[in-house]
Structure 1
Amino acid sequence: MPELPEMENYKIRLEDKLLQQVITDVQINREKSINLQPELFKNTVHRQKVVMIIRRGKQLLFHLENGYVLLVHLMLGGWMFFGSESEKPKRTIQVSLSFGEEHLYFIGLRLGYLHLLSQKEVEEKLAHLGPEPLDTDFSLNKFLLRIKTKHGRLKTALLDQEFIAGIGNCYSAEICFQAAINPIKNIDEITTESATKLYQSMLLVLKNAIKHGGYMGNPVHHGDTVTGRYNQQCQVYDREGQSCLRCGAIIVQTVISSRKTFFCPNCQT
């Protein structure tokens, strides 16, 4: 499932392609992927200019000239591709937005969705989300105060979008590894020193993942050589049975909150 770095990568790649461009056509092949009647959806979006693209947590928001917002949550299996008809992947397209001869294809929206919302509806829909971990005003002190309010296992807290927005299964594992903390550990047992290291690791891992295009490999457009490069840099995620790159012990997998969790039992203590 795309997490903060993947959606930020989409934002960076698509800003260059879509900002100030006009939507010339809309194709809806699966009505369940949208939230309005198809004709109303099309009529509201058609001939509108994309004036801004914003990421919030794991969602991407395309702000239109008429004040409406297209909010996409890709969920499990969803992805986007921008290009011409001849370049599009040989996959089922649920929704597409045309910009002249090029199109933004929404693929794999079985659990994910593309909703057309007013500004007020967007605020209501995203009101539950916690702070953005990479916002400049989300300081170490704010993080330490926030983590003191949490209980239970560390992994579960990092997955909680009301605690911090945008972190999911992959990066919670990578952040805990970088901080040398076991994700199974109870938050009440984490010292201020360890919590500080966790905060620093969170910034380091997320920024590095954005720089290298996230861990999911489907290109955003033809000639995209950046997207997915972080997959080769994952230290523990999806590396069960392989040697730890820090100490040489064997990476193990367990399940926490119904999610697969990867860690090194030797150096994450």
Structure 2
Amino acid sequence: MPELPEIETYRQQLAPLIQGVPITGALVTRPKSLNVEPELFIHQLTGNRIVRIDRKAKHLLFHLASGDVLLLHLMLGGWLFYGTEEEKPDRTTQVVIHFGNTHLYFIGLRLGYLHVHTMSGIHSKLKNLGPEPLEQAFTFSQFQQVLHRKQGNLKVTLVDQTFLSGIGNCYSDEICFVAGILPTRKIPSLHEEEQSRLYVSIRTVLLEAIQFGGYMEFPLFVGDRLTGGFDAKCRVYDREDEPCVRCGHPLIKVELSSRKCFYCTNCQT
């Protein structure tokens, strides 16, 4: 599932490509991906423009000139491609937005969605999300406050979107590794120095992942050399039985609350 770095990579790369460009139409092949009838969706978009693209947690927000907002959540297996019909990957698309001869393809939206909301509707939809971990205003003191309200293990807490916004399976494991803390640890057992390491690790890992385009391997457009660059830099995620980059001990994979989890039993404490 795309997490904060993947969605932020989409935001940064899409903005110069489609912001301000007239929308010439749309195509919907899976009405369940929308929250309005396809005919109304196409009518609302045709002749409109995307004036700004924001990210909130794992959501992408396309602000339209009309004042409405398209809220995208890719969920499991969803991804985007921008280009011509000839460049399009051989994959089934659920929604396509046309910008003349180029198009934005929404692929794999079987569980995800692209909904139209007013700004008040957006606030209502996203109101239960936790703090954005990369916001400058999110201090260590505030991190300690949200930690204080949790009792479960570290892995499950990190992927809880009401705790912090945007972290999922991949980055929760990477964060725990960089912090040197077992993902199985209970939150109340973390002393202040470990809390500090965790706070720094969250920001370090997410910023590094954004720098290298996240871990999703599908390019956004032909010639995209950024998207997916972090996959090769993952230290533990999907690295079962490989030697730990820090101590050489074989990495293990377990399940925590039905989520796969990778870590080093030797140098994570």
TM score, norm. by length of structure 2:
0.99
Structure 1 residue ranges without an equivalent (≥5): none
- Which residue of structure 1 lines up, in the alignment, with residue 159 of structure 2? 159
Residues 19-168 of structure 1: pairs in structure 2 closer than 5 A: 19-168=19-168
| Other structure's SS at 1:238 match | coil
- Which residue of structure 1 lines up, in the alignment, with residue 263 of structure 2? 263
Q: Segments of 4+ in structure 1 off by > 2 A?
A: none
How many Å separate the matches in 2 of 1:143 and 1:98? 42
How many Å separate the matches in 1 of 2:144 and 2:193? 10
Corresponding residue pairs, total = 269
How many Å separate the matches in 1 of 2:85 and 2:241? 42
How many Å separate the matches in 1 of 2:178 and 2:205? 8
For residue 211 of structure 1, what is the amino acid of its counterpart? Answer: Q
- Which residue of structure 1 lines up, in the alignment, with residue 180 of structure 2? 180
Offset at residue 222 of structure 1 (A) = 1.0
- Which residue of structure 1 lines up, in the alignment, with residue 201 of structure 2? 201
For residue 213 of structure 1, what is the amino acid of its counterpart? Answer: G
TM score, norm. by length of structure 1:
0.99
How many Å separate the matches in 1 of 2:131 and 2:45? 30
For residue 242 of structure 1, what is the amino acid of its counterpart? Answer: E
How many Å separate the matches in 2 of 1:33 and 1:83? 21
How many Å separate the matches in 2 of 1:257 and 1:116? 33
For residue 46 of structure 1, what is the amino acid of its counterpart? Answer: T
| Other structure's SS at 1:164 match | coil
How many Å separate the matches in 1 of 2:263 and 2:60? 30
Offset at residue 125 of structure 1 (A) = 0.5
How many Å separate the matches in 1 of 2:162 and 2:121? 18
2:233 maps to 1:243: no
| Other structure's SS at 1:229 match | coil
Identity of aligned residues (%): 50
| Other structure's SS at 2:260 match | strand
Offset from partner CA, 1:168-210 (integer Å, 9 cap, x none)? 0000000000000000001110001000000000100000000
How many Å separate the matches in 1 of 2:188 and 2:78? 36
Offset at residue 152 of structure 1 (A) = 1.1
| Other structure's SS at 1:262 match | strand
- Which residue of structure 1 lines up, in the alignment, with residue 221 of structure 2? 221
RMSD: 0.6
Offset at residue 148 of structure 1 (A) = 1.2
For residue 260 of structure 1, what is the amino acid of its counterpart? Answer: K
For residue 192 of structure 1, what is the amino acid of its counterpart? Answer: E
- Which residue of structure 2 lines up, in the alignment, with residue 192 of structure 1? 192
How many Å separate the matches in 2 of 1:40 and 1:115? 12
How many Å separate the matches in 2 of 1:97 and 1:153? 42
